[in-house]
Amino acid sequence: MKIQGFKCALYGLLVATLVVCLMPSSSHSGIPHFDKLVHFTNYTILGFFAAKSYPQPSYFTRLFPALLIFGFIIEVLQGLSGYRTFSLLDMLANGAGLIFAGILVRGSIYR
């Protein structure tokens, strides 16, 4: 996939993440902390597409903090919504997913 394709996918994923995270949550998997796995997976995917969209070695200096701030803003908005809650554990799962994405693509970013 070309860089433009990764960028389109990244921006689409960011919008989808924002919309889904601000919708009322009606499903519970029954698996304890399953939502943390969802956060980890989503932010791994976001981190991967961010790293592929901007291949210069700026993932941990620019993209990683920007995506962490994006996740923090979503958590604050959820806390203010009245039907979702603010969660530090969700932010921790987001950060872990971003770190994992950075590890996965690090070799291809810095070559």
Task: Name the residue ranges covered by the structural domains of the chain.
Answer: 3-23+33-109
Q: What is the pLDDT of residues 85-105, one digit of tens each?
A: 899 999 999 999 999 998 888
Distances (CA, A) of 53 to 23, 63, 82: 27, 10, 35
The confidence score (pLDDT) of residue 108 equals: 56
pLDDT band at 110 (very low <50, low <70, confident <90, very high): very low
| Residue pointed to by tokens 């809650």 | 85
Q: What is the pLDDT of residues 37-60, one digit of tens each?
A: 999 999 999 999 998 888 777 777
Residue 70 has pLDDT above 60, yes or no: yes
The confidence score (pLDDT) of residue 26 equals: 66
Q: How far is CA 30 from its chain centroid?
A: 23
Residue 2: what residue type?
K
Q: Render the burial of 90-106: b for 16+ CB within 10 Å, e for the rest.
A: bbebbbebbbbbbeebe
